[in-house]
């Protein structure tokens, strides 16, 4: 999910996540919206020029629980968590069109 939004404008990243069926889309959208609001309010950045510069998810602490099983045994349940890191930066948004194929520098993926 993170690879879908890396390098995209914030508004486009939020619309991609809004229509993604994966369960991870909602927490990612919340973190991106929070990062954009922090950039706008704390650093006086223009929200229209914000781009997702860095996005990654690390493993967080694991909560260990037990599930009772037959004959007094106990199986371990691992409830995994994660750390979501999103950094936004202000870049000039390049409009499509203009000088044919040589105007804007793009990246193929």
Domains of the chain: 2-90 (3.90.470.10)
Q: Assign 80 to helix, strand or coil.
A: coil
Please identify which residue in the block is written with the tokens 């202000």.
Answer: 90
Global confidence as pTM: 0.75
Q: Are 17 and 29 in contact (CB under 8 A)?
A: yes
Q: Using the predicted structure, report yes or no on whether residue 107 has a pLDDT greater than 70.
A: no
pLDDT of residue 35: 94
Can you tell me the mean pLDDT for 69-73?
Answer: 96
Q: Residue 102 and residue 98: Cα distance in Å, rounded?
A: 9
DSSP summary character for residue 14: H
Q: Are 46 and 88 in contact (CB under 8 A)?
A: no
Which residues does 104 contact at the CB level (< 8 Å), separation at least 6?
94, 96, 98
């Amino acid at each position: 999910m993170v690879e879908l939004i890396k390098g995209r404008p914030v508004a486009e990243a939020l619309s991609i996540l809004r229509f993604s069926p994966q369960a991870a889309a909602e927490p990612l959208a919340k973190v991106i919206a929070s990062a954009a609001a922090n950039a706008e309010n704390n650093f006086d950045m223009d929200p229209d020029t914000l781009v997702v510069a860095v996005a990654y998810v690390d493993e967080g602490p694991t909560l260990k629980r037990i599930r009772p099983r037959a004959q007094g045994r106990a199986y371990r349940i691992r409830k995994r968590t994660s750390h979501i890191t999103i950094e936004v930066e202000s870049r000039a948004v390049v409009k499509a069109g203009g000088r044919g194929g040589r105007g804007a520098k793009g990246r193929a993926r």
